Chain A
Amino acid sequence: MTAPSDPSELLPLTPVAFEILLSLTEENRHGYAIMRAVEERAAGRGRLHAGSLYRALARLLDSGLIEERDPPLEETDERRRYYRLTRLGRRVAVAEARRLESQVGAARDLGLLGET
């Protein structure tokens, strides 16, 4: 599938997809590590099961936002596959963050979040 060059075409992202991009911004990870990272950020407010994770991963792979890479040398479990953010993926993540930020900003301006 050819990737569009303009990141805004892919917005908005689903929350799970955005979380995956965030977790891969930190470092390259395998599926279970992504799941752990997302769950840690959610701090017990929700659980991400493999099904939701991999459906989102499949979409992200198809649209070229992430790609598979070789596992690091210290990885001993050969069943693990590692993913990393592509340049496009990084641009889309930034665009999505900006979009959310502007929405949150608007909410704050309207006093939805109380006085800050």
Chain B
Amino acid sequence: MARPGGGFSTWVYALLLRCYPKPFRERHGEEMTHVFAEGAAAARESGPIRWLWYLSGALWDPVRNGLAERIEDAKKDRSAGDAIMRSVRGPNERRGGRMESWIGDAKYALRTLLRNPGFTVVAVVTIGLGIGANTAIFSVVKTVLLDPLPYDDPDELVMLWGEMRNRGVTHFPSSPPDLRDYREQADLLQDLEGVFSFQIALTGDGDPVQVNAGSVTPGFLAMLGVEPILGRGFVEEDGTPNDPNFLPGQPGALPGMVLLSHALWQQRYGSDPSVVGRTVELGGGPGEILGVMPRGFELLLPAAAALHDPIDLWIAARIDFDNSPRNNVFLRPVGRLRDGATSGQLQAQVDRISTDLAALDQVKSTAGYAMRVEELKSDLTSDVRAVLVALFGAVVFVLLIACANVSNLLLVRASGRDRELAVRAAMGGSRGRLIRQMLIESGVLALAGAVLGVLLAAGGIRVLLALQPGDLPRIEGVGIDLPVLAFTLLAAAVAALVFGTIPALQASSFELADALKERGQARGGRGSKLLRNGVIIGEVALSLVLLIGAGLMVRSFVELNRVEPGYEPAGLLTFNAAPPFAAYPTAQDRVNFKIGLAQRLETLPGVERAGAGFPLPLAGDLFNGRYGPEEALTNPEAFGQAAYRFIMPGYFEAMGTRVLAGRTFTLADVADSAAVVVVDELVAESLWPGESAIGNRFLVRVVSPEPEWVEVIGVVEHQRAETLASDGMEAVYFHDVYTGGFGGSWAVRTGVDPLSLVPQIRAELAALDANVPLADVRLMESYVDQSMGPTRFALTLIGAFGLLALTLASIGLYGVLSYVVRQRTSEIGVRMAFGAARSGILKLIVGHGLLLSGAGIALGLLIALPLTSVMDTLLVGVQPTDSLTFLGISVIFVLVAALACYVPARRATLVDPVAALREE
């Protein structure tokens, strides 16, 4: 379904146009939509009241006029049709057939439902909420999990992840020679290409900007089946190597061959086709623009690949596959399977190659090296599958609960309709016909619920996107399309069967004579009572399960808010300002730039401390290497893996990270490039448990190919860097001169509103070097907030569905008890006549309700215990079987149930015994 421009109201209008007959719609529909949108835009300008007034009229208009047009068409058709029929059959023959009687039943159902608007509205809204929730979540599941990736034969694409099993490393990149070996030896692969990304300054044609560059082996984009829309794609020669010691961001003698992303082409070059062939300056070196990639093209790799997002331009990596060292790992290998090959077969082949590679290399053989093959699509969605499965389960529960409510409504209503049904039966309506009639009524209800549900879902999807579930790949593409509508219809059909079958069978199975004899007194047969009670117990059980899920998410969110990340996010500004290698060729040059900028920043009023550090926590960059005690020289298995961070003096103070022992870096450390490091408490604890770490030496490998000795000068608290939800890897902090001074992220501690300082920071940077772009300006708080996104997303949705379920279940409980009270009025009257106290009656009814909910809660706990384990990966600091949550939610449920029972029970105590008995 194409979505005409102009927003949600226009979309609804286009949907409502379906009221018109098709030929009319085809002739004028598009134009009418346009006229509607123009009118809406004009009305919107004259204020919200005017706009709403316009919408209310304009959205009703297609319903009214559309149906009028249909009626007019039908009149025309009938006069034409009658003429034909008469000529064929003669005037007196009665028309009729299977189809006609179905339509007749549907019309009858519609009339019956419209006669009882209260019931109909409640039922349609209940079903609509259930179907709406299902439609919205299914549209997400479909886009994120089910739709094929937008590449050629996407099922053939695989990721290859390095593992170092002895060090707990699961997503290690590969070195160029390793990639080459797999490419040459794994003949189950058609292609094996590599990608990595970095940030680089684009200068020389306008303001300097920092861009995210995706560096790929020349065949990478062609392997995906993506062609540039302008210019040419990469060829083998574009990757002719430059320099054997390739460092990201370093300019070489040969120009970088560049393909622009569509967005960068539009924004920076105004969609000018003549950019093809132009030379630009990239990080101070030359770059040649070869072409432009298609609009919307993005590289969808799992977050563990740590690629920058979005990629602004693509560069053909100039890699010397034969002479690159095997410990220079930076490539993410992506491959394409040969026709008919499976990832399992490839894994076996890759395992053999990995064993051979490990035999050549001491690090690989001792670290437990292996290469893991993953299918790209399942790998891409593996992190989010749990939340989507949990949400989908939640909405299925909501729909079932909604069905239970409507089913009970129908059961209650059916008992009031005995006489009508009996009359129909007496007049020759067969049992089958009655069942059909009831089911058609359910179908009409479900269909109306589906229409409402689609509207709710369309609005719900917007809310969902506003929650920014950042880690759901392709979430921007979520919408209501044909497959989603088909799912909605299916859900409606299933719902109709679920809530319609029991009442239909029930209603058709009574004793005709009894029903006709009874004076409207509802039957309270054992069977129907059991059914109603069973339905309500099931409903309570399901909503308890949902609410326990919601409770677990609440606890997780509370835990997450209590996490001490190892830095103070409030008042902390971060940005990127990296000295380009061309203008600052040596490590000392680059460090001097950083010292200069830090001094300038610290003179600004409001700035307390400024320090460069790379990578910053939660910013998405990861960099790690090994570390170990002296023993590791002879026994490399003693090496562990740690995050490496490269920092300048002032970094810890700016971050607000506490120093636990010793000291942090000073300018003196930076001046003589001493081999001193700061470690976090996890490293200190693992190397020297229970002792002071200060002054001790240990092994790392950061600047030379061989292990090197460094000395600990300080211990700091651990920073949570990968996500807020878990501790993550231990960290070693090097000072910038020691490691070569690359990276250029900054942490600035401020005493004022951090964002108010941005213009002054920009001015100071420009005064130092106008060619260095200020990029990625963000509050540390926003990284923290982003890291909470998935938990908040799951919490909001599961919480909303849980509350909806609780509400529906309470309404259901209330409805059933009201019915019970009405049915037992005479019994209550008798009891009261014999002297039962009102409090006794209250107890009787509330007790009945609590018995039902108690059974439901017990059943719910039994279901929840095994089921909440699907949420395991969503939870932070709380077990899926957390007893506090289970108990707390059960108590809440009992209280709500008691309330839902109290109102009808109170009504029971007001029964006038005399009146009740007289009625009998």
Binding site for B on A (CB under 8 A): 31-32, 35, 47, 49-55, 57-58, 79-81
B30 touches A79 (CB 8 A): yes
A55 touches B65 (CB 8 A): yes
A-B contact pairs, 20 of them (CB 8 A): A31-B34, A32-B34, A32-B38, A35-B35, A47-B54, A47-B57, A49-B57, A49-B58, A50-B35, A50-B62, A51-B61, A52-B61, A52-B65, A54-B28, A54-B31, A55-B68, A55-B69, A58-B24, A58-B28, A79-B30
Q: Which residues of B contact A47 (CB under 8 A)?
A: 54, 57
A51 touches B32 (CB 8 A): yes
Which of B38, B57, B64 gathers most chain A CB within 10 Å? B38
Given known A-B contacts A32-B39, A35-B39, A58-B24, A51 and B65 have beta carbons under 8 A apart: yes
Give the residue of A49, A51, A58 whose beta carbon is less than 8 angstroms from that of B27.
Answer: A58
Query: How far, in Å, is B143 (CB) from chain A's closest CB?
Result: 29
CA distance A93 to B24 in the complex (A): 25
Q: Which residues of B contact A35 (CB under 8 A)?
A: 35, 39
B61 touches A54 (CB 8 A): no
| Count of chain B residues near A, Cβ 8 A | 21
CA distance A99 to B27 in the complex (A): 32
Q: Which residues of A contact B64 (CB under 8 A)?
A: 51
Q: Which residues of B contact A32 (CB under 8 A)?
A: 34-35, 38-39
Query: How far, in Å, is B31 (CB) from chain A's closest CB?
Result: 6
CA distance A50 to B57 in the complex (A): 10
B30 touches A54 (CB 8 A): no
Q: Which residues of B contact A53 (CB under 8 A)?
A: 35
Q: Which residues of B contact A50 (CB under 8 A)?
A: 32, 35-36, 39, 58, 61-62
Give the residue of A31, A51, A79, A81 whose beta carbon is less than 8 angstroms from that of B62.
Answer: A51
Q: Is residue B66 contacting chain A, with contact meaning CB distance below 8 A?
A: yes
Query: How far, in Å, is B837 (CB) from chain A's closest CB?
Result: 63
Query: How far, in Å, is B297 (CB) from chain A's closest CB?
Result: 28
A81 touches B61 (CB 8 A): no
CA distance A54 to B29 in the complex (A): 9
Nearest neighbor of A53 in chain B, beta-carbon distance: B35
Q: Which residues of A contact B58 (CB under 8 A)?
A: 49-50
Nearest neighbor of B32 in chain A, beta-carbon distance: A50
Query: How far, in Å, is B583 (CB) from chain A's closest CB?
Result: 48
Given contacts A47-B57, A55-B24, A57-B28, 8 further A-B contacts (CB under 8 A): A31-B31, A35-B35, A47-B54, A50-B58, A51-B32, A51-B62, A55-B65, A79-B31
Q: Which residues of A contact B35 (CB under 8 A)?
A: 31-32, 35, 50, 53
Contact with A along B270-288 (1 / 0, CB 8 A): 0000000000000000000
Give the residue of B24, B28, B61 whose beta carbon is less than 8 angstroms from that of A49.
Answer: B61
A79 touches B34 (CB 8 A): yes
CA distance A50 to B30 in the complex (A): 11
Contact with A along B46-83 (1 / 0, CB 8 A): 00000000100110011011101100000000000000
Q: Which residues of A contact B54 (CB under 8 A)?
A: 47
Q: Which residues of B contact A57 (CB under 8 A)?
A: 28
Query: How far, in Å, is A79 (CB) from chain B's closest CB?
Result: 5
Query: How far, in Å, is B55 (CB) from chain A's closest CB?
Result: 11
CA distance A58 to B25 in the complex (A): 11
Query: How far, in Å, is A63 (CB) from chain B's closest CB?
Result: 15
CA distance A58 to B26 in the complex (A): 12
Which of B39, B57, B58, B68 gathers most chain A CB within 10 Å? B39
A81 touches B31 (CB 8 A): yes
* A-B residue pairs, 10 tightest by C-beta: A51-B65, A49-B61, A51-B61, A50-B32, A54-B28, A32-B38, A32-B35, A79-B34, A50-B35, A31-B35
Q: Which residues of B contact A58 (CB under 8 A)?
A: 24, 27-28
Which of A51, A53, A79 gathers most chain B CB within 10 Å? A51
Q: Which residues of A contact B68 (CB under 8 A)?
A: 55
CA distance A78 to B628 in the complex (A): 70
Nearest neighbor of B24 in chain A, beta-carbon distance: A58
A51 touches B34 (CB 8 A): no
CA distance A55 to B27 in the complex (A): 11
Query: How far, in Å, is B383 (CB) from chain A's closest CB?
Result: 43
Query: How far, in Å, is A62 (CB) from chain B's closest CB?
Result: 10
Nearest neighbor of A54 in chain B, beta-carbon distance: B28
CA distance A52 to B28 in the complex (A): 12
CA distance A22 to B586 in the complex (A): 81
Nearest neighbor of A57 in chain B, beta-carbon distance: B28
Q: Which residues of A contact B39 (CB under 8 A)?
A: 32, 35, 50
CA distance A50 to B13 in the complex (A): 11
CA distance A52 to B31 in the complex (A): 13
Query: How far, in Å, is B51 (CB) from chain A's closest CB?
Result: 13
CA distance A50 to B58 in the complex (A): 7
Q: Which residues of B contact A49 (CB under 8 A)?
A: 57-58, 61, 65
CA distance A52 to B35 in the complex (A): 12
Q: Which residues of A contact B24 (CB under 8 A)?
A: 54-55, 58
Nearest neighbor of A47 in chain B, beta-carbon distance: B57
Which of A35, A53, A79 gathers most chain B CB within 10 Å? A79
Query: How far, in Å, is B737 (CB) from chain A's closest CB?
Result: 61
Q: Which of B154-168 contact A (CB under 8 A)?
A: none
Q: Which residues of A contact B31 (CB under 8 A)?
A: 31, 54, 79-81
Nearest neighbor of A35 in chain B, beta-carbon distance: B35
CA distance A50 to B32 in the complex (A): 6
CA distance A81 to B29 in the complex (A): 12
Q: Which residues of A contact B65 (CB under 8 A)?
A: 49, 51-52, 55
Q: Which residues of A contact B62 (CB under 8 A)?
A: 50-51
Q: Which residues of B contact A54 (CB under 8 A)?
A: 24, 28, 31-32
CA distance A111 to B64 in the complex (A): 38
CA distance A57 to B65 in the complex (A): 13
Query: How far, in Å, is B62 (CB) from chain A's closest CB?
Result: 5
CA distance A73 to B727 in the complex (A): 66
Q: Which residues of B contact A55 (CB under 8 A)?
A: 24, 65, 68-69
Query: How far, in Å, is B555 (CB) from chain A's closest CB?
Result: 52
CA distance A51 to B58 in the complex (A): 8
CA distance A34 to B655 in the complex (A): 64
CA distance A94 to B28 in the complex (A): 27
Nearest neighbor of A49 in chain B, beta-carbon distance: B61
Query: How far, in Å, is B13 (CB) from chain A's closest CB?
Result: 8
CA distance A54 to B57 in the complex (A): 16
Query: How far, in Å, is A54 (CB) from chain B's closest CB?
Result: 5
CA distance A53 to B68 in the complex (A): 13
B34 touches A80 (CB 8 A): yes
Q: Which residues of A contact B32 (CB under 8 A)?
A: 31, 50-51, 54
Query: How far, in Å, is B833 (CB) from chain A's closest CB?
Result: 63
CA distance A113 to B872 in the complex (A): 82
Query: How far, in Å, is A25 (CB) from chain B's closest CB?
Result: 20
Which of B35, B36, B57 gathers most chain A CB within 10 Å? B35
Q: Which residues of B contact A51 (CB under 8 A)?
A: 32, 61-62, 64-66
CA distance A51 to B204 in the complex (A): 57
CA distance A80 to B28 in the complex (A): 11
Query: How far, in Å, is A42 (CB) from chain B's closest CB?
Result: 14
CA distance A81 to B28 in the complex (A): 10
Query: How far, in Å, is A37 (CB) from chain B's closest CB?
Result: 13
Query: How far, in Å, is A75 (CB) from chain B's closest CB?
Result: 13
Query: How far, in Å, is B292 (CB) from chain A's closest CB?
Result: 26
Query: How far, in Å, is A47 (CB) from chain B's closest CB?
Result: 6
